[in-house]
A and B are shown apart, each in its own frame.
Chain A
Amino acid sequence: MPILVPHARLAALLGETSVRSAAATLGELLAEVERRVGPQDWAWARKATLLVNGRAAHHLGGLRARLEPEDQVWMVLPSAGG
């Protein structure tokens, strides 16, 4: 099953650091998460870069991107350092 790894603030809200899902597309997967946290929190939590196997989701069809069982979706926020 595909896995979603949320960014830390969303993980705190969800109470877990990864979510397994049977969703067939990225859109379905995100809708599942939205249902769990509610629309208000989702409004800020979704403002993260969505990466499917390390590639920005919009290069793979956006919310329509199909998910395979081994796929990993990560949500990341800007970072910096060296």
Chain B
Amino acid sequence: MAGGSHNRYLDVDLGTGAVRVRSFERDELERYLGGRGLGVRLLYDHTDPGLDPYDPRMVLVFAVGPLTGSAAPQSNRFSVTTKSPLTGGLADSHCGGSFATKLKRAGYDALLIRGRSPRPVLLEIEDERVELKDAGHLWGQGTTQTQGALPNRFGKAVIGPAGEHLVRFACIVSDARVAGRGGVGAVMGSKQLKAIVVDGTHKLEPARPEAYKELQKSITKYLLAHPMTGGVLPELGTANLVMTTAGRNIIPTRNFQAGRDLRTPQLSGEKMRDELLAKREGCLHCPVRCGRLVKLQERVTKGPEFETIGLLGNNLGVFDMPDVVRLGELCDDLGLDTISMGNTLGFATELTERGLLSSELAWGDVAAYRAAIERTALREGLGDELAEGTRRLAALHGGADYAIQVKGMELPAYDPRGCVGQGLEYATCNRGGCHIRGSTMFLEATGPVSIDPHSPLAKPELVILQQNLNAAVSSLVMCWFSAYAMIPPPLFRMDPNSLAYRLLMQAMLHSGPIVRVVLGLKAPTKLLWFEKFVTTYAGRDFSMGDLTELGERVFNLERMYNLREGLPPSADTLPARLLQEGTSRSSPAGVPLAGMLSAYYHVRGWDAQGVPRARTLQRLGVRT
């Protein structure tokens, strides 16, 4: 069969055992393509407003994209969409691992799960054979043991004890990769679904084989030659960010009380490479291979990503890399999001320091943190409160001003006081405090261009540009790291201290009006590899304009979902600490959010209250 989709999805009711193979009858594939877009479309259409995330009628949608199963670099990933137990709004989380390719091979573009099983179950899918099997023997097991107990030929997606105990930031694990954010694992746990395994025989062929093959080769070559995707990412993994964020004074330190520590370099990617690296690894067909395997005395295990280092390491005053490796490994095995866990532990430690919470937690006390992580996954003692996340912890003990979350989801490892556009992105992100739905910090603070990170100029426009592109790329379910390769290599060769560089940055800082024009264009050309792959592999003539419009459509539907679920625009904000306090003599102020936010609403075609205007929805064809 040619083309990038099967035009059908599997609908499984865990309560009744009913299984239906359904085709997309409305605009789902046509307008939303796959992954994130398809996920929110199905969530919107298949749930009544106001459902609790743990209501049996809530759906959990696994979706792949038009390129999944192909050899297009960075395309073998899946998304998980549901309502977030942390935010009460949209949760969508993405993951590498073998599950994506196998789900596509089984002949489905998505898997929609509803209902609640009366007992722990395992969902086994092999083409049209769909079975619910008893998972009593797996319940209570960690994600490593659970995956180990399942046959190797399957793609797997499993939860750990945290998901079973409805920890609000529980994740779903596939191989060594994690759909970490928003509590998708808790929703899976609420359905008593321990694991999904999938395999199949429905192979899709490229629509234009020669052109696709040529493109696949040339883009792989380009990515490998690029200073980011062929340079720092493979060499140092995402931990390459440690030194840059520390230099910028934006790596979380003691619950965002500071932006670095002089011991931060002990957690650098260079240090991991020189002292611990055993092997690089990556997602299927990805030439970048940004994952790490590290040696820990007698064994080899997964090396921590930057976020894990930032939140479970630097933020908690843990500066020994092997300790951070072990804390990250523990979270993965228990099925906990390392970002929310580390952030929540940081908040609880500050509450303890201030005498607002009685606990054993203290900066740098690895044993205390380890015990707290274990108790969180099982909801024992203080762990039962930590399992609720920072916002609910603040409601119990105070400290809301320094509970570092947006819409209830904990912030990742970039302090926005040193990248204010990223602050706007956090505030407006549909899934709450997230960096990977636009990554504006790359244009301000961490990448080869640095558009004054302390200035609000041009930031609303750049955030929208990034968010739209991200929503499109994640509807193809391609890895967002591919976007880093969009910056032309010559920019990396510029001396950041040169006059030419500074003039260029000044021009970019004043590019807001131009970006507005670009946002309004629907370019008919094919500029990037994303639209070229959709055209050659999926056989759908796709332009740059189609891509950006897709992203804008997805973003607006997500916003409409959040509004429908009662998440008000007033939630587009940051905690008081980030708005009011500076971090150093050179950065004495917080994020100037208010001005950026009103410009952002305006440019998005939303009203002054942050509600998408009817004409905006109509232009994009967003059905509500």
Contact = CB atoms under 8 A, between A and B. Distances in A.
B435 A54 contact: no
Interface in B236-264: 237-241, 243-244, 246-250, 259-260, 262
Given A18-B262, A47-B495, A54-B259, A78 B585 contact: no
B350 interface: no
B430 to A, nearest CB: 17
B475 to A, nearest CB: 18
Contacts of B497: 46-47, 49-50, 57-58
A75 B492 CA distance: 15
A55 B454 contact: yes
Interface string B449-464: 0101010000000000
A60 to B, nearest CB: 7
Interface string B573-614: 000000000011111000000000000000000000000000
Given A46-B497, A81-B481, A53 B447 contact: no
Interface string B477-511: 00011001000000010011100001000000000
A82 B270 contact: no
Interface string A35-46: 000000000001
A58 to B, nearest CB: 6
B247 A3 contact: no
B469 interface: no
Contacts of A31: none
A19 interface: no
A52 interface: yes
A52 B584 CA distance: 10
B307 interface: yes
Contact of B306 (A53, A76, A82): A82
Q: Which bucket holds chain B's interface residue count?
A: 35 or more
Nearest to A47: B495
A78 B447 contact: yes
Interface string A6-22: 01100000000110000
B447 A80 contact: yes
B545 interface: no
Interface string A52-79: 1111111110000000101110111111
B482 to A, nearest CB: 11
Contacts of B586: 52-55, 60
B442 interface: yes
A33 interface: no
B338 interface: no
A1 interface: no
Given A53-B584, A58-B497, A78 B454 contact: no
B265 A17 contact: yes
B278 interface: no
Given A46-B497, A58-B497, A80 B584 contact: no
Interface string B412-455: 00000010000000000000000110010010001110101010
B560 interface: no
A54 B248 contact: yes
A29 interface: no
A5 interface: yes
Among B250, B270, B307, B436, residue most surrounded by chain A Cβ atoms (within 10 Å): B270
Interface stretch (B126-134, B226-234, B328-336, B527-535): B226-234
A54 B584 contact: yes
A79 B244 contact: yes
A68 B243 contact: no
Given A53-B249, A54-B583, A82-B306, A76 B290 contact: no
B234 to A, nearest CB: 11
Contacts of A76: 243-244, 247-248
Contacts of B232: 77-80
A80 B247 contact: no
B268 interface: yes
B496 A54 contact: no
Contact of B248 (A48, A51, A60, A71): A51
A54 B418 contact: yes
Contacts of A18: 262, 265
B502 A81 contact: no
Among A7, A46, A54, residue most surrounded by chain B Cβ atoms (within 10 Å): A54
Interface of A: 3, 5, 7-8, 17-18, 46-60, 68, 70-72, 74-82
20 contacts: A5-B246, A5-B247, A47-B496, A49-B450, A49-B496, A49-B497, A51-B249, A53-B249, A53-B587, A70-B585, A74-B246, A75-B247, A76-B248, A77-B232, A77-B244, A78-B228, A78-B244, A78-B492, A80-B241, A80-B447
Ranked nearest first, the 7 interchain pairs of A and B with the lowest CB-CB distance are A54-B249, A81-B238, A74-B247, A55-B586, A53-B586, A76-B247, A78-B448
Interface of B: 227-228, 232-233, 237-241, 243-244, 246-250, 259-260, 262, 265, 268, 270, 290, 305-307, 418, 435-436, 439, 442, 446-448, 450, 452, 454, 480-481, 484, 492, 495-497, 502, 583-587
